[in-house]
């Protein structure tokens, strides 16, 4: 069985859904499981629903209606008559969102977030499945929450591999086309969990691992894995073949084309990963597999924006050693900070991280009890794999470098 994953950009409108059908007709859809993300920027829009729920309850219905109208307009293009059952199914899904927000008693933001935001994927797959049927392609719609079982670490759930393996093998018919959602799972109480933003790639890898799939293909709006994000860099190059190790390195440092967790389950079973263009489905794209390396080696540029750099120093000029560092990392863990770079000397410690859960203020208050703290917000972390002098100069030009760190193959700069 093959696993295909289509991201939000590939199904952002009616033409995108039609193109998905074209891709499946061109490359085949037998014995295939298709993972589909929320349409376009729906996840962002559903996050606004959650924000309204906590900050301005009068705005909740309007925020939901805006998302509903977006999908309703796509439906009107794809289906001739609003009497088609898919219209009612989509309407019911949005009524479920309203219902949850009416009876919910939990004050926990992350819990509410997962129960609400995940409807983007449920709606998109409902539409795609119905349109495939209309196009004459029979398929089975699956609720991925019945397949992927997790703990209750909302917004960044961890997989229960044993239960997930059992559920996937029991419920997925490998002899037909299946449509399911990315990004989602469920905990022991059957509440929805999410695997982290952009987690649909990871979903595809989990399902591939559990099904012993022959391959995973991620369909993107780029021709494959490039040596830099074309939105941030000019003159990018396609990497035709790279190893699991190199792909994991690139993903870890923030290459947006592959989710960081995706490669590990695939590597364990040596399942090849293809990254291809949904605009040109027969082109070669990039293959990630065993034993292949970047050839020739070219500098690979990665940038993470909107990062936070915190520089700590001891109040009494004492050394920052093991007990201090362990305490710092415990605070970073407790406040759910994703650490991307650390650098330390005898009396100082610098850490660059992503404040995606909004705990920065509380973290700083804790750190200030024991350290002198300097905080730089809205910095960018640049990483260059296989760097050379020219690559370094291109990043330093016109920027203030706050931290520089070099390894044998990797250079990282925190810049303002």
Tell me: is residue 231 an annotated ligand-binding position. Answer: yes
How does 24-47 read in b/e, with b if 16+ C-beta sit within 10 Å? beeeebeebbbbbbbbbebbebbb
- The dihedral sign for the CA sequence 204, 207, 209, 215: negative
Rg (CA), the chain: 23
Cα distance between residue 74 and residue 15, in whole Å: 9
- Dump the DSSP string for 54-89: HH-GGGHHHHHHHHHHHHHHHHHHH-S-TTSHHHHH
Strand partners for 384: 301, 411
How big is the CA angle at 208 (ends 206 and 212), to the nearest 5 degrees?
125
Alpha-carbon gap, residue 213 to 222, rounded angstroms: 24
Cα separation, 141 vs 321, whole angstroms: 54
d(CA 208, CA 123): 23
Within 10 angstroms of residue 348's Cβ, the number of other Cβ atoms is: 15
The answer to whether 141 touches 126, Cβ cutoff 8 Å, is yes
Q: Which helix (H) or strand (E) holds 248?
A: helix 244-253
Residues paired with residue 241 on neighbouring β-strands, in sequence order: 287
- How far is residue 255's CA from residue 250's CA, in Å, rounded to a whole number? 5
The distance from CA 83 to its chain's CA centroid, rounded to whole angstroms, is: 35
Identify whether 296 is preceded by a cis peptide bond (ω within 30 of 0): yes
SS3 233: coil
Residue-level length of the chain: 416
Q: CA distances (Å), 327 to each of 322, 324, 334, 363, 371, in order?
A: 9, 5, 10, 12, 11
> Which residues are annotated binding-site positions?
231
Q: Could you tell me which residues are annotated as the binding site for ATP? A: 231
């Amino acid at each position: 069985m093959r696993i295909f994953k289509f991201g939000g950009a590939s199904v952002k409108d009616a033409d995108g859904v039609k193109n998905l059908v074209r891709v499946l007709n061109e490359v085949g859809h037998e014995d295939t499981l298709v993972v589909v993300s929320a349409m376009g920027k729906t996840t962002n829009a559903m996050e606004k629903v959650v924000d309204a729920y906590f900050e301005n309850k009068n705005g909740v219905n309007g925020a939901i209606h805006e998302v509903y109208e977006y999908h309703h307009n796509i439906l009107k293009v794809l289906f001739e008559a609003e009497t088609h059952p898919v219209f009612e199914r989509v309407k019911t899904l949005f009524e479920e969102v309203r219902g949850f927000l009416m009876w919910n008693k939990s004050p926990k933001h992350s819990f509410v977030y997962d129960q609400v935001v995940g409807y983007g994927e449920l709606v998109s797959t409902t539409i795609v499945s119905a349109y495939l049927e209309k196009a004459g392609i029979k398929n089975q719609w699956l609720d991925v929450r019945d397949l992927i079982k997790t703990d209750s670490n909302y917004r960044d759930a961890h997989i229960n591999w044993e239960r997930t393996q059992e559920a996937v093998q029991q419920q997925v018919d490998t002899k037909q086309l299946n449509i399911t959602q990315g990004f989602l799972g469920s905990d022991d109480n059957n509440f929805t969990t999410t695997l982290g933003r952009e987690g649909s790639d990871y979903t595809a890898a989990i399902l591939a691992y559990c099904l012993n799939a022959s391959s995973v293909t991620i369909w993107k709006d780029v021709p494959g894995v490039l040596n830099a994000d074309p939105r941030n860099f000019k003159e990018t190059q396609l990497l035709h073949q790279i190893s699991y190790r190199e792909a994991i390195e690139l993903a870890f440092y923030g290459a947006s084309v592959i989710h960081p967790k995706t490669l590990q389950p695939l590597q364990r079973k040596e399942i090849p990963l293809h990254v291809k263009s949904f605009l040109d489905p027969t082109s070669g794209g990039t293959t990630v597999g065993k034993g292949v390396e970047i050839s020739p080696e070219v500098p690979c540029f990665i940038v993470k924006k909107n990062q936070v750099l915190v520089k700590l120093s001891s109040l009494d000029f004492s050394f920052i050693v093991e007990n201090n560092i362990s305490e710092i990392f415990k605070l970073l863990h407790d406040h759910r900070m994703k650490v991307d770079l650390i650098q330390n000397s005898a009396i100082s410690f610098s850490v660059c991280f992503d404040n995606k859960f909004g705990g920065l203020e509380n973290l700083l208050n804790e750190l200030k009890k024991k350290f002198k703290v300097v905080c730089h917000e809205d910095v960018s972390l640049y990483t260059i794999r296989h760097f050379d002098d020219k690559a370094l100069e291109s990043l330093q030009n016109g920027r203030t470098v706050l931290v520089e760190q070099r390894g044998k193959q990797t250079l990282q700069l925190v810049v303002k």
